Structure 1
């Protein structure tokens, strides 16, 4: 793009502005002021020293695929062990025999909760230490919608009931049952002793 030439009116206007403007440094004569700044001298950059480098050290962690609440069996497996370690190891291998059992198959939540409360408190009063609560694995939903629904309502609700009053004071440990006692469709409930 070519520059255009200033008109005589623009040149006259510029001269008028320069006559009326005040100098920033009036003490310096016009001849002392440099017209252009000198070029800066190039400085030598010091030789770069590299820190120890590991492959992927600055990589960002991959985002999780979803932020859903973990499954009940995963949460129970991650829970700290409250009972004796040796007894817990035998329990996980299915070597301890439950002293009582209750089957909640086919029950609705409103009928299963009072039955479970009565069973656990009665078993503790009788001095039983290990009982088996069978919930079933639950049905698959016919129409999976956009909101994920856990499989098996009682299977997910029973551990929550066991951690709330009045059952929380009676229950020491809840863990998924061994495959010989029902696997994912049942829970071992280790009860506290009455003192």
Structure 2
């Protein structure tokens, strides 16, 4: 006995073969193979000096990892809201993508973005740091990604932020953070 799925696939294949019988390739089109696209002449050999040194720090410096936030446990926040934040169920009212930013520019941009969102009465924003490049960093992930928790727990920002959590894959996964802002008093 032949399954319906097999019969349908056979019909589809027969239909496809019939449809392409009269097709002829376009003339004078030069298609590049993968080998040509990734040849050495098409790949930049050097990266500009400016991009290589976006962050200067002593070798002993390591960003502080705030473990309880990475697991979604947020002190001073009720369990329901904490879970909704961690699961990405709170509506995102603003996004900031830090791809291509250097350390200092990223920090300043985050501070300005969070302040603007707070004073605009936004409740939840998404900050996309990217996962970072191991190529330029001695750590296992990007310096901006590792530094973001420290940045938003300092100065004026810590008074504007209720908590944060790593984003769900649909919103950027390990390379993004949900940031829950306090309501203005």
Distance 2:70 2:124 in 1: 18
Normalised by the length of structure 1, the TM-score is: 0.57
2:166 aligns with 176
Select which of 78, 82, 85 maps to 1:88: 82
- Runs of 5+ unmatched residues, structure 2: 1-61
Select which of 105, 112, 117 maps to 2:99: 105
1:24 aligns with none
Select which of 59, 70, 79 maps to 1:77: 70
- Shift in CA distance, 70/152, structure 1 to aligned 2, threshold 3 Å: closer
Q: 1:123 aligns to what SS in structure 2? A: helix
Aligned: 1:120 with 2:114? yes
CA RMSD of aligned residues (A): 2.4
> Number of matched residues?
123
String of CA shifts for 1:150-174, please: whole Å, max 9, x gaps.
Answer: 4101000111100000211111101
Q: 2:170 aligns to what SS in structure 1? A: helix
String of CA shifts for 1:41-84, please: whole Å, max 9, x gaps.
Answer: xxxxxxxxxxxxxxxxxxxxxxxxxxxx8994745235544323
String of CA shifts for 1:88-129, please: whole Å, max 9, x gaps.
Answer: 212222222211110011100111111111110110001111
Q: CA deviation at 1:177?
A: 0.7
Q: 1:163 aligns to what SS in structure 2? A: coil
Normalised by the length of structure 2, the TM-score is: 0.60
Distance 1:126 1:183 in 2: 26
- Runs of 5+ unmatched residues, structure 1: 1-68
Distance 1:171 1:89 in 2: 16
1:157 aligns with 147
Distance 1:150 1:126 in 2: 35
Return the index of the structure with the highest Cα Rg: 1
Within 5 A, what are the aligned runs for 1:38-49?
none
